[in-house]
Structure 1
Amino acid sequence: MKLHAISIFFLLQLLYLQNVAAQNIRSIFLFKDVMKSNTTALKTSGFNTLIMFGIGILDNGDIKYYSNTPGSQDVVVASGGSYVGGAALADKVRSFKTNTTGINRVEISMNSQHVKNLMSRPGPGAETPLYRNFAALKEAWTLDAVNNDDEVLYDVASTVAFAKMLGKIGYKYTGAPYTNAQFWQSLVRQVNSGLKEPDLLLDRMYLQCYDGGANNNPAGWANALGIKVVPIVWVTNDSKPVYGVSAAQARTRFSGWSSSQKSALAGGGYWNDFDIEKMGLSYRDYGAVLTSVFP
């Protein structure tokens, strides 16, 4: 009886920890070239998830990293089934989860370009260049997930095929919606068909709550998708300052959502590190907001 009680206790503890983990995603999108961003600050300011923007698929199945930073060059990182992005870049990405760090998940974010064509021909098979390139990149960068930032194509069938291909390689799949809830709803349902938590393939939705998604309501999206969402706000910036929020304003927004819509939230996050550094803002201040609201 005592052993039985102990087993139940540890089972309950495990379920509790899984539930807590599902509520405390603290993310930031990396728009700046990771070779030039403040790696130490990203690792030690309270974030636990980094989403590297942006990765692109070329028409032949090669994968390119777009640095998005003045003075940096875009670079093909996987070709012919091998990693070709260089040791320095691989070491940098791998370092996010090593030594003194709070990061436990690194994702790459990409749009939908060439996905439909490549899923049609040559398809998602393990022998295809695209499959082999994503496998090589995962190993080289120790990646955890691929983020879908589709804002144009919205083709359900090819996106589902692509997500399932990534799942076979060992990736998780995530979304970054701001509109077209019907597409994202269909995607979640089909990608996760037959799966249950914590083994969902499409396991996170980073909901854009700025710019075109400024009026998005996390609870409404969570209800429509059948999965908790991670609302993303834009830090103070000079590109579209009307959509930027200070750390204090971010705290107000996240706290408000957490107070009124807690069951809909899996955490919170920001777009993007480039503006934090460009505007002379504090990673620690923005990170502290997330650790406070989503501990």
Structure 2
Amino acid sequence: MSAYPIAIYGNGLFQDGYPNPPVPYATQVQQLNAGITTVILWSIHIHAGGDLYLNDTLFVSGGQIQYATDNKSGVNPDFPKLISALMTGGSVRDLLVSVGAWGTTSDFTAWLASRDQVKANLAILKSTFGVTGVDFDYEGDYTTQDQTMIVTLTQDVGSLGLFATYCPYTATSFWTSCLTDVYQQAGTQLVKWMNLQCYAGGGGNSPTEWAQAVQDTSGTGVTDAYAFIVPGYGVLGADGGDPASLEQTFAGLAGTGITGGFLWNSGGIWSTEASGGQSAPLPSDYAAAISAGLGVGASAKAAVDA
């Protein structure tokens, strides 16, 4: 059995390159379902009024999915078919949408200003595609006001029957304080795990130090702080390494209690595959590297539930 979660940030998944992607969309589905457990659509941007965009493409408005009719506006009309195949065809268990990115704090302020409309738009993603969670890729100033905002929006996610994940790269105390506030206000921990960025600006992060910080913070409701931290690393084509180097990295975490990892990002894999042919690593190769490095012998799903 594999580690859990083995997540991947789907960079414009099933949309980038539409209608001519570097790797056919149906092939992407098959490759993800050979080892990936969690697919995270990246990135959802929230505009004034609560409309959701998948990168620069209008995705959901007024509680309705917006499909392309002219190859320009709206998402790939094959999205329902592709997502259905993704969620029923193999290893994928969870589908998340990630809000934000570097330099996009306006996504969160727009969300806060249009909470009811965003909730309606997220609800349609849940009912149409089976979305199970929302990832918070907030990279802002980390003020007390920001903390209140993140906690409020996390509770909105929980009210829809979805779970949240946080995707930090810095500001440990900010994120642990958010966990405490969520738990105190909701009576349960709505955040299932942290996708810890260990690349780019987070390249110096120690997953075990973050886990220890969660463990040392009282009142979070997190029962297994080490399984709660899910470290992520870049792949070839996204300023990262190959599966062999990833396996070495995760071997350094074996025995710590960390049970999964994530990949940054699908666009790097598809571009490398398109240029490298049969010799290029696939998502399954990276997934196997995470499991082999951690030495996981059984699914760790229960361990990440707070």
- What amino acid does structure 1 have at the position aligned with 2:262? G
Quickly say closer, same or farther: Cα 1:136–1:274, change in 2 above 3 A: same
240, 249, 256: which one aligns with 1:253? 249
C-alpha separation in 2, matches of 1:254 and 1:195: 34
Give the CA deviation at 1:33.
3.2
Matching of residues 16-95 of structure 1 within 5 Å: 24-35=4-15, 36=21, 37=25, 38-44=28-34, 46-66=35-55, 74-85=56-67, 87-95=77-85
8 Å CA contact 1:116, 1:159 repeated in 2: no
Please name the residue that 2:126 is paired with: 138
C-alpha separation in 2, matches of 1:139 and 1:75: 20
Structure 1's unaligned 5+ residue stretches are 1-19, 67-73
8 Å CA contact 1:149, 1:177 repeated in 2: yes
Quickly say closer, same or farther: Cα 1:118–1:194, change in 2 above 3 A: closer
Please name the residue that 2:211 is paired with: 222
Give the CA deviation at 1:97.
1.0
Matching of residues 243-282 of structure 1 within 5 Å: 244-259=240-255, 262-263=256-257, 265-280=258-273, 281-282=280-281
Please name the residue that 2:158 is paired with: 167
Which of 1 and 2 has greater Rg? 1
Quickly say closer, same or farther: Cα 1:116–1:153, change in 2 above 3 A: farther
8 Å CA contact 2:46, 2:110 repeated in 1: no
- What amino acid does structure 2 have at the position aligned with 1:25? P
8 Å CA contact 1:29, 1:51 repeated in 2: yes
C-alpha separation in 2, matches of 1:105 and 1:114: 23
Give the CA deviation at 1:286.
1.2
Deviation per CA, 1:1-37: give whole Å up to 9, x if none.
xxxxxxxxxxxxxxxxxxx99x621111111432444
160, 170, 173: which one aligns with 1:179? 170
Give the CA deviation at 1:219.
1.0
C-alpha separation in 2, matches of 1:28 and 1:118: 24
C-alpha separation in 2, matches of 1:108 and 1:115: 14
Please name the residue that 2:235 is paired with: 235
8 Å CA contact 2:155, 2:186 repeated in 1: no
SS in 1 for 2:135: strand
Aligned residues: 252
- What amino acid does structure 2 have at the position aligned with 1:245? G
Q: Greater shift after overlay, 267-276 or 220-229?
A: 220-229
Q: Does residue 1:108 correspond to 2:101, yes or no? A: no
Give RMSD over aligned pairs.
2.3
Please name the residue that 1:147 is paired with: 135
Give the CA deviation at 1:200.
2.9
SS in 2 for 1:60: coil
- What amino acid does structure 2 have at the position aligned with 1:147? D
Q: TM-score, normalised by structure 1?
A: 0.78
SS in 2 for 1:279: helix
Quickly say closer, same or farther: Cα 1:153–1:137, change in 2 above 3 A: farther
C-alpha separation in 2, matches of 1:207 and 1:152: 16
Q: Greater shift after overlay, 207-216 or 105-114?
A: 105-114
- What amino acid does structure 1 have at the position aligned with 2:128? A
C-alpha separation in 2, matches of 1:160 and 1:54: 20
Structure 2's unaligned 5+ residue stretches are 16-20, 68-74, 216-224, 274-279, 298-306
Give the CA deviation at 1:195.
6.6
Please name the residue that 1:9 is paired with: none
C-alpha separation in 2, matches of 1:195 and 1:171: 13
SS in 1 for 2:33: helix
C-alpha separation in 1, matches of 2:162 and 2:191: 10
